[in-house]
């Protein structure tokens, strides 16, 4: 970013008066990360951001925003007084986006949006100056922050968009005004707040609300809910998925422990490889490849980009237990779709020993919790997973379903405050050549079990 403070005043339609016209080279809202050249936005969170302005000043910021309902300070740096800090944040982001004028790719989905964002950015960076959402900064703060911190020479901006309520994606799409809108898939994440997958699909479709008229909608063509809604979208469309009715699909998938290779219908002569496990990640790669194709990236360049990929937040991580057993850890997030995907992927991986699974409650599923926990039963069988360990109130429903398949020596259930007992049991059972999965929502705190095992 590069902008004079008087330009900020002009964008926000505020008289600058005798203000010192300092140069702004970035924005921040976390005083701990403030640096020289930054314009500080004291956003309202759990605490009022104005409380941290002095800290931001000590870290070298060039100027700060100040909301008019607070006492005007006698600051050591110039300040811009506005009626609403959040609105000023968004207004400045929209202006800067138009000023730099990159092509904007917006990505959302119940699962896979961060991975897909990283894949798109990696592929497009083979021929463009690309900026992307850092980590998973995908809300009303993260999207303007991403825009305002992109370099002035950015040619393509890849923006991740998350949601926890209707209307949120529409709002984010209005800020970013995308040229390409991507939906990875529709799952059950946040179903507690939306009630049904239909309503989740409606909310995700808001990503096309502000799609440019000559833009393109890229989505998972295996999902009937998206196919149905796409009929109302007037812009150009392209689909990816596992079925051959999609524009791009995988014709051959070879799963591995840390990599997955695949071929496609459009470039059958090429073997593509991604440095991660799971057919679900192949779908993410296909979405990114479609965006690459639209951007005239050569398939060989996409092939190399995917092979060299480094993912921002690959929550599924291979680790080693103290006794040498392999641990597949995903202890910070879980929903039915994600759980089924990782279970199916683990089935396909060849191991020398047994496969054991530890599943914690999947939270924020609302009234559908019992049914959705029970639904995992059809993906868990004795021939694939030797022993099953379940944790939490809702996993009791899955235990009841699995009791017909497993005897009491191979199926265990623990209260969420019995992690110590679970850990003791696992240490007794786990053998050096075993492979064990730990997956659950962060509220179950399976990371404590993981720590003890390693």
CATH code for position 427: 3.90.190.20
Among candidate residues 286, 307, 328, the one where a domain is terminated = 307
Q: What is the pLDDT of residue 214?
A: 97
Q: Same structural domain for residues 252 and 368?
A: no
Using CA atoms, how far apart are residues 272 and 295, in angstroms rounded to an integer? Answer: 19
Average pLDDT value over all residues in the chain: 95
Q: Is residue 43 part of a domain?
A: yes
The response to whether 284 counts as a known ligand-binding position is no
In the chain, the number of structural domains is 3
Alpha-helix residue ranges (DSSP H) falling in 150-251: 168-176, 191-194, 197-204, 224-230
Q: What is the pLDDT of residue 314?
A: 56
Q: Is residue 361 part of a domain?
A: yes
Q: What is the pLDDT of residue 16?
A: 83
Using CA atoms, how far apart are residues 452 and 454, in angstroms rounded to an integer? Answer: 6
Q: What is the pLDDT of residue 48?
A: 95
Q: Say which CATH number the domain at 137 has.
A: 3.40.1190.10
Q: What is the pLDDT of residue 20?
A: 85
pLDDT over threshold 80, residue 190 = no
Q: Is residue 312 part of a domain?
A: no
Q: Say which CATH number the domain at 49 has.
A: 3.40.1390.10
Q: What is the pLDDT of residue 313?
A: 55
Inter-helix orientation angle 279-294/299-307, to 10°: 140
- Containing 58, the helix (H) or strand (E) segment is helix 53-58
Q: What is the pLDDT of residue 75?
A: 73
Q: Same structural domain for residues 262 and 346?
A: no
Q: Is residue 91 part of a domain?
A: no
140 and 177 Cβ atoms separated by less than 8 Å = no
Q: Same structural domain for residues 16 and 140?
A: no
The response to whether 115 counts as a known ligand-binding position is yes
Q: Is residue 407 part of a domain?
A: yes
pLDDT over threshold 90, residue 439 = yes
Among candidate residues 256, 278, 307, the one where a domain is terminated = 307
The response to whether 334 counts as a known ligand-binding position is no
Q: Same structural domain for residues 323 and 286?
A: no
Q: Which residues face 391 on adjacent strands?
A: 360, 414
Q: Same structural domain for residues 233 and 119?
A: yes
Q: Same structural domain for residues 279 and 134?
A: yes
Among candidate residues 277, 307, 337, the one where a domain is terminated = 307
Q: What is the pLDDT of residue 312?
A: 63
Q: Same structural domain for residues 429 and 280?
A: no
362: containing domain:
317-453
Q: Phi then psi for 61, rounded to 5 degrees?
A: -60, 155
Q: Is residue 345 part of a domain?
A: yes
- Determine how β-strand 317-320 pairs with β-strand 387-391: unpaired
pLDDT over threshold 60, residue 159 = yes
- Where b means 16+ CB within 10 Å and e means fewer, 37-55 reads bbbbbbbeeeeebbebbee
pLDDT over threshold 80, residue 387 = yes
The per-residue DSSP string of 332-389 comes to: S---HHHHHHHHHHHHHS--SS-EEEEEE---S-GGGHHHHHHGGGGG--TTT-SEEE
Q: Same structural domain for residues 348 and 297?
A: no
Residue percentage of the chain with pLDDT more than 90: 90
Q: Same structural domain for residues 426 and 330?
A: yes
- Where do we find the tokens 């020479």? 153
pLDDT winner (highest mean) among 12-21, 100-109, 192-201: 100-109
The response to whether 167 counts as a known ligand-binding position is no
Give me 333's structure tokens: 């997030």
Q: Same structural domain for residues 129 and 7?
A: no
Q: Same structural domain for residues 258 and 165?
A: yes
* pLDDT, mean of residues 56-78: 90
Q: Same structural domain for residues 412 and 365?
A: yes
pLDDT over threshold 60, residue 85 = yes
- Where b means 16+ CB within 10 Å and e means fewer, 344-369 reads ebbebbeeeebbbbbbbbbbbbeebb
- Determine how β-strand 156-160 pairs with β-strand 130-132: parallel
3-state DSSP call for residue 90?
helix
The response to whether 216 counts as a known ligand-binding position is no
Q: Is residue 371 part of a domain?
A: yes
Q: pLDDT band at 274, cuts 50/70/90?
A: very high
Looking from the CA of 275 toward its CB, the CA atoms found within 13 Å total 13
Q: Is residue 94 part of a domain?
A: no
pLDDT over threshold 90, residue 128 = yes
* pLDDT, mean of residues 84-95: 98
pLDDT over threshold 80, residue 65 = yes
* pLDDT, mean of residues 409-423: 97
Q: What is the pLDDT of residue 192?
A: 80
pLDDT over threshold 70, residue 269 = yes
pLDDT over threshold 70, residue 376 = yes
The response to whether 109 counts as a known ligand-binding position is yes
Alpha-helix residue ranges (DSSP H) falling in 131-236: 142-148, 168-176, 191-194, 197-204, 224-230
The response to whether 112 counts as a known ligand-binding position is yes
Q: Which residues face 40 on adjacent strands?
A: 28, 64
């Amino acid at each position: 970013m590069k902008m004079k403070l008087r330009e900020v005043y002009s964008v926000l339609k505020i008289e600058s008066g005798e203000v010192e016209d300092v140069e702004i080279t970035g924005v921040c809202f976390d005083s701990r990360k403030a640096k020289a050249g930054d314009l500080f936005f004291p956003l309202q969170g759990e605490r009022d951001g104005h409380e941290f302005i002095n800290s931001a000043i000590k870290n070298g910021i060039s100027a700060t925003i100040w909301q008019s309902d607070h006492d005007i300070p006698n600051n050591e740096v110039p300040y811009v007084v506005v009626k609403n800090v959040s609105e000023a944040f968004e207004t400045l982001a929209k202006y800067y986006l138009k000023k730099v004028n990159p092509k904007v790719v917006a990505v959302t989905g119940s699962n896979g949006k961060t991975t897909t964002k990283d894949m798109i950015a990696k592929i497009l960076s083979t021929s463009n100056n690309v900026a992307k959402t850092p980590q998973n900064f995908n809300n009303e703060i993260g999207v303007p922050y991403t825009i305002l911190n992109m370099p002035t020479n950015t040619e393509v901006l890849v923006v991740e968009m998350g949601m926890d309520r209707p209307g949120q994606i529409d709002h984010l799409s209005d800020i970013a005004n995308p040229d390409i809108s991507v939906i990875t898939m529709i799952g059950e994440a946040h179903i507690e707040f939306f009630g049904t997958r239909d309503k989740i699909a409606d909310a995700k479709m808001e990503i096309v609300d502000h799609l440019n008229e000559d833009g393109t909608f890229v989505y998972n063509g295996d999902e009937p809910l998206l196919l149905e809604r796409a009929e109302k979208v007037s812009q150009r469309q392209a689909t990816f998925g596992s079925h051959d009715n999609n524009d791009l699909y995988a014709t051959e998938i070879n799963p591995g422990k840390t990599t997955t290779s695949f071929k496609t219908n459009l470039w059958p002569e090429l073997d593509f490889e991604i440095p991660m496990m799971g057919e679900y990640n192949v779908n993410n790669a296909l979405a990114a490849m479609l965006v690459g194709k639209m951007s005239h990236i050569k398939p060989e360049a996409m092939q190399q980009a995917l092979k060299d990929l480094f993912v921002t937040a690959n929550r599924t991580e291979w680790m080693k237990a103290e006794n040498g057993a392999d641990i597949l850890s995903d202890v910070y997030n879980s929903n039915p779709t994600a759980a089924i995907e990782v279970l199916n992927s683990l089935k396909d991986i060849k191991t020398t020993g047994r496969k054991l699974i530890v599943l914690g409650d999947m939270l924020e599923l609302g009234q559908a919790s019992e049914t959705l926990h029970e639904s995992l039963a059809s993906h868990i069988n004795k021939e694939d997973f030797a022993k099953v360990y379940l944790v939490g109130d809702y996993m009791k429903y899955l235990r009841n379903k699995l009791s017909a398949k497993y005897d009491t020596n191979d199926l265990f259930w623990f209260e969420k405050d019995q992690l110590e007992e679970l850990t003791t049991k696992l240490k007794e059972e786990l053998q050096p050549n075993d492979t064990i999965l730990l997956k659950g929502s962060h509220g179950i705190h399976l990371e404590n079990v993981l720590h003890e095992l390693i």
